[in-house]
Amino acid sequence: MNRFSLTAAALITIGATMNPAAAQRIAIESATIHTLGDAGTLDQGTLLIRDGKIAALGPKLSVPGDVKTIAGKDKVVTPGLFDALSALGVEEVELVAGTVDNELESSHLGAAFDVTGAINPRSTLIPINRIEGVTRAMVAPTSPSAWLSTPPGSLFAGQGSVISLAPVSDFVIKPRAALFVTLGKHGADFTGGSRAGTLGELREALEDTRAWDALPAGQKQTANPGYAIRRPAREVLLKAMSGELPVVARVHRASDIGAALALADEFGLRLIIAGGAEAWIVADALAKARVPVILNPVDNLPENFEQLGARPDSAAILHAAGVLIAIADDGESHQARNIRQLAGNAVAHGLPWDAALASVTVNPARIFGLGNGRDGLMPGQVADAVVWSGDPLEVTTMAETVIINGAVQSMTSRQTLLRDRYLDKDGDWPAAYSHPSSP
């Protein structure tokens, strides 16, 4: 195969892996199955998949003869990984502006900015992460760095959507699944430099929305130039104030988290904390308010004055207090697959193993309200599952089979094609691409 046919094969293969596969009848036999549901962990269990969903599971399950079987002996089966804060599909090369679509440098749309229309299901980064067990992701907008914005962006980053990493069509599982706002020091960059200004601007937007909602229906459609934000953004904030749309606040400092909790209580917001380096300090208040936290447990050093209280066991402290946690590396598109390693680090600092696995699988689904059959490996649930060579939280473990929507996925990506290309020392390559047979 020459370099031109390899390029063609790469395009064909990557394209093929992105096409929706027909749901199959599959049985994973004699595996250790971590259901993260009522069935707990099954030793020597069998998982039966039919019509895209889990049909049955158990230690002594009869498998029909026309079912594709996957040997599970000495293997571990878990729900697919769910990256709770990603840029998959909206960022290909971070420093190439034309490939980055999750940041809006204008404040024109504000809360009405919806990242969904920019998501590229054919991104080469999707199969790279899919073959390592990532089956779903929250594609989250972010407020740009203030020094890069002319004029500055908005503390309202916009609305994010949950996607599946398998199909090209119907890849969006839940559009506009959460509103993202930027608080703390970064948020202050958009409001004159003070955290108080950030909270004041957020309060003004919420109060304006409340006043607008009280108007007669006919008046709501007028320009209403006296309001601080535009009508489309007010409509989004109205959903947030009704509890229909969760609000993800990117914030680290404990005092800022406390202020966000008070504001959420006052305006009826369904709050989610993202970042939360000092969230452990207010763990009891978060648990009482039933506010989840999405954090990166290796952000454990005081990187700036907002994170002086950062510590490696923060995930364990939050979990022990009763806070629902998810583990993610905010906005990482190339290495979303590393969330299982982050979860393993949290285990090393006291987080129970089952809780760590849940934090990168079922907990994000619960946080973002995916009540449509995507909560663990149980009968009736959508069949997103991974067969691992061993403990999925160990870095030496590999994903051997990835199943999304009941279909076995191709284990080919741009990276595997490059690997295989240069493993073939005797291939028909030009001199610049060949390996010398002798020194």
Give the tens place of pLDDT for each residue, 149-173: 444 678 899 999 999 999 788 899 9
pLDDT value, residue 344: 97
pLDDT value, residue 143: 83
Q: Residue 74: inside a domain, yes or no?
A: no
Q: Residue 264: inside a domain, yes or no?
A: yes
Q: Residue 106: inside a domain, yes or no?
A: yes
Cβ burial of 377 (10 Å; 0-12, 13-18, 19+) is buried
Positions in the chain whose pLDDT score sits under 70: 1-23, 105-106, 146-152, 221-226, 372-373, 424-427, 429-439
Helix axes 195-213, 254-267, angle to 10 degrees: 10
pLDDT value, residue 3: 40
Q: Residue 46: inside a domain, yes or no?
A: no
pLDDT value, residue 83: 97
Domain ranges, residue 235:
79-377
CB 118 within 8 A of CB 167: no
- Pairing of β 247-251 and β 271-275: parallel
Q: Residue 111: inside a domain, yes or no?
A: yes
Q: What global pTM score does this model have?
A: 0.89
Q: Which two tokens stand for residue 244?
A: 């229909």
CATH of the domain at 287: 3.20.20.140
Q: Residue 173: inside a domain, yes or no?
A: yes
Cα 430 to Cα 9: distance, rounded to the nearest angstrom: 18
Residue in this structure with the two tokens 């002594």, named with its chain if needed: 60
CB 297 within 8 A of CB 275: no
Q: Residue 33: inside a domain, yes or no?
A: no
Q: Residue 433: inside a domain, yes or no?
A: no
pLDDT value, residue 274: 97
Provide the number of structural domains found in the chain: 1
Q: Which two tokens stand for residue 280?
A: 């452990």
Dihedral angle, C-alpha 201, 205, 210, 211, nearest 10 °: 90
pLDDT tens-digit profile of 65-79? 889 999 999 999 999
CB 107 within 8 A of CB 147: no
pLDDT value, residue 12: 36
Distance between first and last Cα of the chain: 25
pLDDT value, residue 331: 76
CB 152 within 8 A of CB 107: yes
Cα 45 to Cα 60: distance, rounded to the nearest angstrom: 7
